[in-house]
Amino acid sequence: MMSNQREYKNTSKVQETEKSAAKAESPMLPNVAYPLKAKNNTNVSQQYFNQLAGDESARFLFNNSGLWHQGIHLRASKFPSSEFENDKICAIADGKLIAYKVDSEYKRDTESGSQSAVYSTGFFLLKHEVAYPQDNILTFYSLYRHTAKINDYDVLGEEILAQTKSADKHPVLIREGSRVIARLADGLTLLIQKYRDNKSKFDEVVWYQDSNGAEHKPPKGKQWGIFHRSYETLIDRPLKGIPLLTRWHIETKTDIEVKLDRPIDIKAGEILGLTGEYNQMGESGEKLLHLEVFTYDDIDQFKAKAEVAYKQEKEKKGIKDNFLYVPRGSRLYSIMNDEAFELEQTQVEIMVPLADVEKQSVKDKQNPKQTKTYYNVQPYLSQQVEHSKDKDSGIYVDDSYLTHGLLFPGVNSYQDQTDEISLFKYKIADYLDPESPHSMEEKETLAPVFKDILKELDLAKEEQGSRFEAGKLKGLLLNPAEQRRLTGIIVQHKSEWARSQSTKFNELIALARKLNDNDAADRIQKRVNDLGIDLKAAGFDSERKAYYMHPLGVIGWLSIQKDCMPLQEAKEIALIISGAYEGKGGFASLSGNFDRMGMSWGIVQFNFGQNTLGPLLIDMRSKNSSLFNGCFSNDEDLSSLNKALSKGVNEQMNWAINMQNKYNSRWKNIFNKLAEIREFQEIQIEHAGKYIKAAIHIIHWMRGVHPSVMEKIEFKTFAALVDLAIQQGSIDKVKDIIKSKSLISPPDTQYAFTKLVVEERGSTASARWRADCISRRLGILNKKATTYSHSGYVAKRDNSKFSLIKEVYICKL
């Protein structure tokens, strides 16, 4: 999309911004994260667009009925628990939690009836800032709707009505840190909160009464404590609350909009709470998150100042690009044999964070001593790619399309002056009214602003005229490429949660009653009333018009292009890739006693037979026995495993075989649950450490032989050597021959040297498996299944996790 210039023709404003940005500075960017955390520790935007594809409720801008929709829906059923922590809501950017609401119970359409559905009205509201340059600030908000009801959260502990009782015949002390606040006699009443995760010997005091009956509470922001043996319980009840609020000593209130007196600092990726239910008529158990991002600031003005600063900093090389914007009609390339060849021009726009794009460097034809970088845009070309002959090798653009997301590259902003709830020219009640004076052709005429938007998206051609059939909405913008294109649209509109918007449903409600559908009228009226937001906090006001932005677009614009991958992340991804050769891969990979090892499980197939699984389970149990025990639905299974772990390998193997033969579904369920717990995933990585050490040892040796090509270690090199270490241990057998060959014909790239290493080491495996070993490693280096022949055998090993391989160096290796 070419940036929409209709609103920016004031040249004096541009001159003014050039002066104000004379002293350009680096951007002040918040860290960003995706709202549902991926379990494989990678979270590129394409995963989200793939999951959103096909979900008719997930669309940004409008729903199937043509009603305005200012956010996206992340439905748990579309983000499977095997791949995402789909019940936990994470903050998308650093910011402050300024308000929340949590339901005591979900709302219901009607009190009874089979068609009645429950829905959440809860939310979290965060405020964020970005600046570029320093005095050019854009404030934006993220709203997370349909959060879990209070009873969906785990019990945090107990709230205890107690009376003081000295443990040592001395007065009972109430403390604020190390300072004594009060000395109390026995028998005085106090309210205590005792948290299950509290490892200290002191519990929190909510209030206490002195000997005169006066009640005392800690000042705001302060915490009082009492020794856990200095009171006796009178009455207790489960302590419920949102864990985030509890950590900040804030009582969770239900069924009201709560503006926080002191906003809470939130980090990107921090868990805010849990996803709740939102069901339509006839549905049940549908958990989804409605996520929206918006600003009240003038985006055009922010962009104008940012563009001036960017131009200055670009010349000084003081800003690092983080985004790729490719307009329609841009030249595409294929790369073969280290050379770029021109293809046709792209028919679609591409807007994607650089962190999600693979790159490849080739020698510059004009200057062979230098390289030129190209970026693989094949995943974002839709139909143009599907019919390409170069599908395996990639389709690229050059580096002239690099930019920064803060400039809103390719984004068009629109203003809807009517603030209607429908995208059609006539109101939704008019569309549904069989007695309407308007023809169907008139009813299906788009409102001007939405007609412009769909034209820009190339979905409403000029030759189609002004009519746009409502039936087309169902199939629009549901493939990943179309979903991504919506990130280039910003619309100023009044919030769908504004109370003033609720009156626009009155005609629809009246129509339902006119048609004798009172149930539908009541249902619409109740939802509209329940879902409205009255809150005013930290600049937020649902009655103000705001610029609504696609949440995934905002995350992409603010993503920081990393120079390198952290070693810890590289370890985990490399282990996942290697494990995927044995099956689905990952922490939950599970197989039975086919190899007489009892069972194999986890990221590197730990097993009882080789005594690698027993120590792993013991460490998990020691780390968090509560979480460990919670993975067993049957107490007898837990008891028998603990007994086997206390003995030896034979008992452990017998336990596994017995579970598989008699209680197979319970056996699978236990290890699937253990695999979902992040603490236990980290222990798996720790126990696979010997393979990581072996791979790093090989890298150090290679660096000693050819330091120039091994100065910075590429991730694919590391991953291939981790796979080698898991299968073959070391390269000690072939060091001499590798060194000799590489000195006779020195490798000019890290790829060439690593290829030599894996080929020579693979050649020493048993004849049946030589081709297989080498095909695995070369597949990782090439990021695709690679055919290899050796000793009369041919192998072409594919891997479902090749997409995790990034063209990036590893930090500090």
* The predicted structure's pLDDT at residue 11: 39
When pLDDT is averaged across residues 656-666 and rounded to a whole number, the result is 95
Determine which of 164-173, 328-337, 498-507, 558-567 has the lowest per-residue pLDDT on average: 558-567
Let me know: does 588 contact 675? Beta carbons within 8 Å. Answer: yes
Per-residue model confidence as pLDDT tens digits over 756-774: 999 999 999 999 999 999 9
pLDDT value for 273: 97
Checking if the pLDDT of 465 tops 60, the result is: no
d(CA 122, CA 126): 14
In this predicted structure, the answer to whether residue 51 has a pLDDT above a threshold of 70 is yes
If you average pLDDT over residues 525-539, what whole number do you get?
Answer: 95
- The torsion of the CA quartet 86, 92, 97, 99, rounded to 10 degrees, works out to -60
Tens-digit pLDDT profile for residues 354-368: 888 888 888 777 777
pLDDT of 383:
53
Give mean pLDDT, residues 457-465: 53
Which range has the top average pLDDT, 134-148, 502-516, 576-590? 134-148
Q: Per the structure block, which two tokens stand in for 112?
A: 């009874």
Please report, rounded to a whole number, the percentage of residues in the chain having pLDDT higher than 70.
91
Lowest-pLDDT range, 104-118, 208-222, 547-561? 104-118
Round to whole Å and give the CA distance between 284 and 611.
45
pLDDT band at 477 (very low <50, low <70, confident <90, very high): low
Q: At what angle do helices 635-645 and 613-623 cross, to 10 degrees?
A: 120
The CB-side HSE value for 193 (13 A sphere, CA atoms) comes to 18
Instruction: Give me the pLDDT at residue 366, please.
Output: 75
| Residue-averaged pLDDT of the chain | 88
AA letter at 584: K
Q: Highest mean pLDDT range out of 102-116, 197-211, 479-493, 710-724?
A: 710-724
Q: Could you tell me if 202 and 208 are in contact, meaning their C-beta atoms sit under 8 angstroms apart?
A: no
Domain ranges (residues) in the chain: 157-239, 323-403, 689-810
Q: What pLDDT shows up at residue 327?
A: 93
pLDDT of res. 183 = 96
Task: Give the rounded distance of the alpha carbon of 565 from its chain centre.
Answer: 18
Query: Above pLDDT 90, what percent of the chain?
Result: 62
- Decide if pLDDT at 36 tops 90: yes
- pLDDT at residue 9, rounded to an integer: 33
Round to whole Å and give the CA distance between 175 and 183: 9
The lowest-confidence range among 113-122, 359-368, 442-451 is 359-368
DSSP percent split of the chain into helix, strand, coil, nearest 5: 35, 25, 40
Confidence of residue 561 (pLDDT cuts 50, 70, 90): confident
**Per-residue model confidence (pLDDT) at position 625:** 87
Tens-place pLDDT, residues 304-355: 999 999 988 776 666 789 999 999 899 999 988 878 899 999 888 899 998 8
> Are 616 and 684 spatial neighbours (Cβ–Cβ below 8 Å)?
yes
What is the value of pTM for the model shown? 0.74
Domain 157-239 in CATH 1.20.120? The answer is: no
Write down the pLDDT at residue 466: 44
Q: What is the pLDDT of residue 471?
A: 55
Give the integer Cα–Cα distance in Å for 762 and 766.
Answer: 9
Contact 338, 331 (CB under 8 A): no
Two structure tokens written together for 151: 């009873």
Q: Is the bond into 133 cis (omega within 30 degrees of 0)?
A: yes
Residue 385 has pLDDT above 60, yes or no: no
Contact 468, 443 (CB under 8 A): no
CA distance 133 to 17: 11
**pLDDT of the residue at 723:** 96
Looking at the predicted structure, is the pLDDT value of residue 2 above 50? Answer: no
Residues 597-624: b if buried by 16+ CB within 10 A, e if exposed: bbbbbbbbbbbbbeebbbebbeebbeee
The CA distance from 397 to 328, in Å, is: 12
Q: Show Cβ contacts of residue 724 under 8 Å, excluding neighbours closer than 6 positions.
A: 695, 698, 731, 757, 758, 761, 762, 773, 777
Rounded CA separation 480/472 (Å):
17
Whole-number Cα distances in Å, 782 to 169, 395, 573, 756, 787 = 74, 15, 16, 14, 11
Query: Is a pLDDT exceeding 60 seen at residue 467?
Result: no
Q: Residue 696: what pLDDT?
A: 97
User: What's phi and psi for 282, nearest 5 deg?
Assistant: 90, -5
